[in-house]
Amino acid sequence: MGAGKRKTGLQRQLSPAHVWSIAFGCIIGWGAFVNPGKKFLPNSGVDGTAIAMLAGALVMIVIAFTYAYMVPRYPKAGGEFTFAKACLGRKTAFLCGWFLMAAYLTNVPMNSTAIGLIVDGLDGGSDILKWGFRYEVAGFDVWCGEMVLAAGVLLLFGWLNIIGVKKAGVIQTLLASMLALSVVILSIAALVSASADAANLSPVWGFDKTAAMAANATTDTIACYAHVGRQGVVTAILATFAITPWAFVGFETIPQAAEEFRFSYSKVMLIMTVAILFGAFVYIANNYVAAIAVREWPDKVMAGEWVLLCAAENMLGVSGKILLGIAVSSAVLSGIMGFYLASSRLMFSMAREGYLPEVFARIDERYGTPRNAILFCILISLSGPVLGREALGWFVDMSAIGASVGFFFTSLSCLHTMKDRGEGTLLLRMIAFAGAAFSILFVILQLVPIPGLPGVHYGKESYIMLLVWIVLGSVFLMRLQKQNK
């Protein structure tokens, strides 16, 4: 087919179930299973995490109203980038798209590094992937066996995205369903298991992990370091609420595939809401299970153990480990699949509008997918198994910033569109203003060190990565403007 007849649009093949599974799979990744012991329980406890996640879910649902308003009016791939270009101008659109690329592109390689950790946590000390050559990056051991497995998974799921979005959607739906079902079973087990005890939930607002470790505290003495009083409770809630953009990043991937919906756009709000609520349930349930089934969870937190795995094994033995393995594997694989789709559609849209090289805007004649954009995403993702988890963590910290930037510009675009078209209710305007305000609040919490909220804002390396990304974007924008002139 000649260049003049080349396909420029995507095929409509995604059902509501496919789109829900993409959003839910992107929201829930490895972090939902490891962070109960790493962040949520020590920082916020069971109660603080539950309140923070419910509040975060409510904020995301508020922001989702602006997406639901914008998608039917701009039903093209690109989501927030497309909204910003239509409403706020080319430079603003580039800024929005550039930060979204950081949010999406980093999540695929980060999820890939979890594959080796899953096997390592479940193989009972057999170390079946620790073979071949080994080296260290930022204190993290990278083994050849882990690299081979992770690279194989990345290539397989990249290929599945290339050969058709419908096939990818079916597999994504299966993975998301297995993830949700596994978490439900673990939650039911926590309610009926003899190993579960409500007394284990204390300290319900978390504790000062740094002070406790410095004093060699144990579970029996952890109450001395618990978050108490009004300030302690507020600190506990904000510590997790501040990272909810990271926790829920993924629901906004739905507009990225707007050109591929084969259903009414009126269903977008319902799909987003269900995905967000399912995500909140998984975060809260995993945190609850990790605490109630492990009496000495503070000891395990300070020792850096996988607390949720210990809880599953305490309740159900080997079956618990297998069930958790199914859940976390489904989360990781669905995250890889979903962010492949979101990243490639964003790149496709930006290239089609002249922001990225035209090669990324080409549609595969056979499968109707943006093949070159997906191939680039695969290439970038293969850096994950090579660099290791710790180094990539610096990049992934930008995910929450990228999501917050997308939320902000979608809210502004919503306000602009309502004013320009003379439509929209007062309630929707208030929602859009609230979405913009919350987006700014999230950015402040992530970038500005606030006393009493340790571990919420960026670390030094992440600030450097953010600065580098901004500089690269500025250089790219200047070259783009020069070319356009």
Determine which of 164-178, 221-235, 340-354, 383-397 has the lowest per-residue pLDDT on average: 383-397
* R_g (Cα) of the chain, nearest Å: 22
Percent of the chain with pLDDT over 70: 93
Burial class of residue 269 in the structure, from the number of CB atoms within 10 Å of its CB (0-12 exposed, 13-18 middle, 19+ buried): middle
Best-predicted range by mean pLDDT (1-15, 143-157, 395-409): 143-157
DSSP H helical ranges for 193-296: 209-214, 229-241, 244-248, 268-292
Query: Would you state the torsion angle of the CA atoms of residues 179, 184, 187, 192, taken in this order, to the nearest 10 degrees?
Result: -140
Residue 6 φ/ψ region, left for φ over 0, alpha for ψ in the -120 to 50 degree band, beta for the rest? beta
pLDDT tens digit string along 94-138? 999 999 888 888 888 888 888 887 887 777 667 788 888 888 876
Domains of the chain: 9-484 (1.20.1740.10)
**Chain-wide mean pLDDT for the chain?**
87
Residue 387 confidence (pLDDT)? 79
Choose between 315 and 3: higher pLDDT. Answer: 315
Res. 457: pLDDT tops 70: no
Element counts in the chain: helices (H) and strands (E): 21, 2
Residue 202 sits at φ, ψ, to 5 deg, of -75, 145
Residue 365 sits at φ, ψ, to 5 deg, of -65, -30
The count of C-alpha atoms lying within 13 angstroms of the C-alpha of 318, restricted to the half-sphere facing its C-beta, is 2
Tell me the residue ranges of DSSP E strands in 123-205: 134-137, 140-143
Average pLDDT on 301-323 reads 92
Residue 396 confidence (pLDDT)? 64
Res. 472: pLDDT tops 90: no
* Residue 384 host element (H or E): helix 383-387
Residue 119 confidence (pLDDT)? 83
Determine which of 87-91, 224-228, 266-270, 384-388 has the lowest per-residue pLDDT on average: 384-388
CB 323 within 8 A of CB 185: yes
pLDDT tens digit string along 314-354? 999 989 999 999 999 999 999 898 889 889 999 999 998 88
Residue 394 confidence (pLDDT)? 64
Residue 286 confidence (pLDDT)? 96
Alpha-carbon gap, residue 270 to 277, rounded angstroms: 11
* Residue 347 host element (H or E): helix 318-352
CB 37 within 8 A of CB 305: yes
DSSP string, 187-216: HHHHHH-TT--GGGG-STT-B-HHHHHHTT
Alpha-carbon gap, residue 365 to 392, rounded angstroms: 35
Res. 3: pLDDT tops 50: no
Residue 228 sits at φ, ψ, to 5 deg, of -135, 165
Choose between 298 and 114: higher pLDDT. Answer: 298
Name the 3-class secondary structure at 453. coil
Tokens matching residue 367: 């499968």
* Residue 375 host element (H or E): helix 371-381
Res. 291: pLDDT tops 70: yes
pLDDT tens digit string along 201-221? 999 999 999 899 999 999 999
pLDDT tens digit string along 37-64? 888 999 999 999 999 999 999 999 999 9
